[in-house]
């Protein structure tokens, strides 16, 4: 089973992905590590204070990894770009805006980076792109939920299908 976790930075992907991998005994894949290892950064966008990733190449590398793993938990706000046919479930994490702002500020993100991510969450960019890609979506708001409770919800959703 291939599960991808997408969502605005700070909404709780990595926390949940790692806990879920442990619970389901699936391997955990940190896409940032793949990006580093495969040299997939095209350039640094100074204005946005973020790296520009070669999304086409990344998708190819990830599909290859999917094909060589029976089960996988993939953690990245870019993971919904993996074509739907390779993915069983696409979890989209969400978070209350006030809480998200606090989480991002705690990361010492610049004001503009906090704002950019807040806007991404307000406009549900990841969720809308995941819907557009026709993923089998599980939306999870992590604001007031424990990891244990979130995992339970995921397990229920998986067992429904």
Query: What residues make contact with ligand ADP under the rule CB under 6 A?
Result: 7, 9-15, 93, 103, 142, 145, 147, 150
Q: Between 10 and 53, whose beta carbon lies closer to ligand ADP?
A: 10
State which residue has the least CB distance to Mn ion. 14
User: What contacts 86, CB < 8 A, 6 or more positions away?
Assistant: 2, 63, 66, 67
Residue 32 found at the interface with Mn ion (CB under 5 A): no
Strand partners, 137: 90
**In whole angstroms, what is the distance from residue 159 CA to residue 48 CA?**
40
| Residue 79 interacts with, from ligand ADP, Mn ion, none (CB under 5-8 Å by kind) | none
Nearest partner of 153 among 79, 142, 27, judged by Cα: 142
| Least gap, CB of 14 to Mn ion (angstroms) | 3
Out of 2, 6, 14, 25, the residue judged to bind Mn ion by CB under 5 A: 14
3-class state of residue 120 by DSSP: helix
Q: How crowded is residue 64: how many other Cβ atoms within 10 Å of its Cβ? A: 10
Q: Between 13 and 103, whose beta carbon lies closer to Mn ion?
A: 13
3-class state of residue 8 by DSSP: coil
| Least gap, CB of 160 to Mn ion (angstroms) | 27
| Least gap, CB of 155 to ligand ADP (angstroms) | 16
Interacting residue ranges for Mn ion, rule: CB under 5 A: 13-14
């Amino acid at each position: 089973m291939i599960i991808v976790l997408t969502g605005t930075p700070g909404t709780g992907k990595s926390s949940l992905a790692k806990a879920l991998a442990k619970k389901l005994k699936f391997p955990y894949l940190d896409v940032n590590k793949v990006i580093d290892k495969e040299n997939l950064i095209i350039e640094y966008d100074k204005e946005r204070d973020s790296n520009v990733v070669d999304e086409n190449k990344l998708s190819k590398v990830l599909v290859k990894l999917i094909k060589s793993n029976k089960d996988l938990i993939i953690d990245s706000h870019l993971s919904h770009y993996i074509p739907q046919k390779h993915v069983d479930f696409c979890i989209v994490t969400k978070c209350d805006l006030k809480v998200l702002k606090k989480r991002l500020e705690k990361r010492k993100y610049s004001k503009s980076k906090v704002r950019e991510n807040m806007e991404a969450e307000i406009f549900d960019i990841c969720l809308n792109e995941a819907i557009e890609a026709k993923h089998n979506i599980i939306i999870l708001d992590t604001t007031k939920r424990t990891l244990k409770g979130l995992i339970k919800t995921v397990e229920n959703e998986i067992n429904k299908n």
